[in-house]
Structure 1
Amino acid sequence: MKIDITDYQVPAAKKVNLKKWSTLVKPIYKSKDHYQQLLAEQISELSTMQQKHYAANSHSVLLIFQAMDAAGKDGAIRHVMSGINPQGCQVYSFKHPSVAELDHDFLWRTVQCLPERGRIGIFNRSYYEDVLIVRVHPEILHNQGLPKELLNEKTIWDERYQSINDLEKHLQRNGTKVIKFFLHLSNEEQRKRFLARIDAPEKNWKFSQADIEERKYWDDYMKAYEACLSATSTEDAPWYIVPADDKENARLIISEVILDAFRVLNPAFPQPDSQRTAELQEIRKMLET
């Protein structure tokens, strides 16, 4: 399997026009069985990498997933990370902020959930919500308790992009690799998936009237995503725009991006020094006798 992840990477300082980024590309897999085989191979390699990553306890990895509703974030996380030891993985889903969270800056609630060294952290939505949904619905911004002199909508988004870039640069300097995915779904495919949720009783819980209301703001969301992706895709923490109309294909791409990052980190099991080796040999003698 050959996946060139640079095909999906947003270059730093590149202005993004989402109409030029496809939501559907030629499948990497030849059949459903082939897809299962490829994903299983990726999961196996990722599981090995994660064991070494956990044992090395030096770096941490943060995966960020952003997308429109029904783009497949939950499914991608569930399938791609299915071989990971839960002890070394933490998943957080960020929805409407609480009263306590609103009494802090917009990064506060997510910073508390950053992964420890040796762990993989997954943000299903993230601090990026504060430059996406909050930008589309400015009334949310005005309910965040900010001082009036800071509520300048001509400057606040650029200021928040800068805060995000500064945070991610800080994380990079301190051993956290940030990998960011935007699952790029078409308006028509979202419509089909919403209909499927209505037709399948076991998926009814995933659907609400609010989802339909948000569809009315599709164009506004695309503009917000374009501005966000353009401003926050950096050399250290690039965005990957993943074509999401084909769920299976998207999962293979996401998995390969994660694996590529781990290959660069190249985690390894700690090697014992001479003192530790001698200690282990003494323990062996005790056990054998």
Structure 2
Amino acid sequence: MKEIRISDYKVENHLKLSEAKTNVDLNADKKQLENALEDTRKQLGKLQDTLYAHGKYAVLVCLQGMDTAGKDSLIREVFKDFNARGVVVHSFKVPTELERKHDYIWRHYIALPARGKFGVFNRTHYENVLVTRVHPGYILGENLPEVHSTEDINERFWDKRFEQINNFEKTIAQNGTIIFKFFLNLSKEEQKNRLIRRLNKPNKNWKFSPGDLDERELWDTYMHCYEDAINRTSKPHAPWYAIPSDDKPAARLIVAHILLEELKKYDDIKEPELDPEIKAKISEYKERLQSE
């Protein structure tokens, strides 16, 4: 199998999505990819146990991508071997009435993982500079003091919003949250194929919405907004990774590999040392239990 090099996916320089790969050949068949993922996710599961015991870091995994990019199945397959108490998944839909009464980051802030846990955001705070930028009328629903019409939603507005997002991520990173942001880069042709499969399979029909086709017509606009958002917010403390996602098994393995290898760099994440007095009496405790 071809080596997975994290530098091939990490956004450290200006990203041009028109030139970014949506498919990658890892020189492995589907079974080999699945076996490699199984091994990697088991290692991730063990690492999460240690993270939980250590209790000083949280891990936030952000997933963004166009409809059908594979976010749901990636979450299912990559985190399958985690202890259920150690990972919490949040899928953010249209904001509720309560959520709209707060700033747009509020609902994401209160969903952040506690120290010792993984949090997975299926769609994220970036929806507020993606969907709302494509459909600026949605911003009016936030009832902001300085926004009276879509004419007020100008470049200065978006500059301010990107600054807020960068400040949010910087704050949580400085307080112990390790941030990963994955853009599942799907080709327009593969999205078409996946939408057709949803229509052809009765048990998948429920996933289809006519609105998917309306959004698909705005593909180029979405790509512009994604490219701008990624380039403005990929920082050393909160990097973006552009993952070729036309091949789901390969995309899952790449994401799992990045998580594992990057987290291994935190060599201070260790199980806590047992209290010396307790450690010195382990044999005594064993004897007491065995003599019952």
Q: Give the count of matched residue pairs.
A: 286
Output the TM-score relative to the length of structure 2. Answer: 0.94
Partner Cα distance (1:244, 1:20) in 2:
14
Instruction: Provide the residue aligned with 1:135 in structure 2.
Output: 133
Structure 1 residues 34, 146: CA separation in 2 closer, same or farther (over 3 Å shift)? Answer: same
Shift of 1:91: 0.2
Structure 1 residues 152, 205: CA separation in 2 closer, same or farther (over 3 Å shift)? Answer: closer
Task: Using the TM superposition, name which of 131-140 and 260-269 deviates more.
Answer: 260-269
1:235-246 equivalence runs, <5 A = 235-246=236-247
Instruction: Provide the residue aligned with 1:277 in structure 2.
Output: 279
Residue 277 of structure 1 aligns to a residue whose secondary structure is helix
Residue 182 of structure 1 aligns to a residue whose secondary structure is strand
**AA paired with 1:90?**
V
Shift of 1:260: 1.5
Instruction: Provide the residue aligned with 1:268 in structure 2.
Output: 270
1:222-261 equivalence runs, <5 A = 222-261=223-262
Contact 1:29 1:249 in 2 (8 A): no
What 5-or-longer segments of structure 2 have no aligned partner? none
Residue 91 of structure 1 aligns to a residue whose secondary structure is strand
Residue 231 of structure 1 aligns to a residue whose secondary structure is helix
Contact 2:140 2:147 in 1 (8 A): no
Instruction: Provide the residue aligned with 1:20 in structure 2.
Output: 19
Shift of 1:172: 1.2
Contact 1:110 1:127 in 2 (8 A): yes
**AA paired with 2:19?**
K
Task: Using the TM superposition, name which of 224-233 and 35-44 deviates more.
Answer: 35-44
1:152-191 equivalence runs, <5 A = 152-191=153-192
Partner Cα distance (2:27, 2:248) in 1:
12
Partner Cα distance (1:144, 1:216) in 2:
26
Partner Cα distance (1:3, 1:120) in 2:
23
Task: Using the TM superposition, name which of 46-55 and 141-150 deviates more.
Answer: 141-150
**AA paired with 1:127?**
H
**AA paired with 1:45?**
Q
Partner Cα distance (2:284, 2:262) in 1:
39
Partner Cα distance (2:290, 2:223) in 1:
66
Shift of 1:149: 5.4
Instruction: Provide the residue aligned with 2:92 in structure 1.
Output: 94
Residue 92 of structure 1 aligns to a residue whose secondary structure is strand
Residue 226 of structure 1 aligns to a residue whose secondary structure is helix
Contact 2:11 2:239 in 1 (8 A): yes
Pairing 1:60–2:58 present: yes
What 5-or-longer segments of structure 1 have no aligned partner? none
Shift of 1:273: 2.8
Calculate percent identity across the aligned residue pairs. 40
Partner Cα distance (2:86, 2:7) in 1:
28
Shift of 1:197: 0.4
Shift of 1:282: 5.1
Partner Cα distance (1:160, 1:283) in 2:
57
**AA paired with 2:197?**
A
Structure 1 residues 160, 279: CA separation in 2 closer, same or farther (over 3 Å shift)? Answer: farther
| Residues 203-256 of structure 1, C-alpha deviations (whole Å, 9 max, x = no match) | 111101111111111111001101100100001111000001111111111011
Output the TM-score relative to the length of structure 1. Answer: 0.95
Partner Cα distance (1:144, 1:153) in 2:
16
Partner Cα distance (1:37, 1:149) in 2:
52
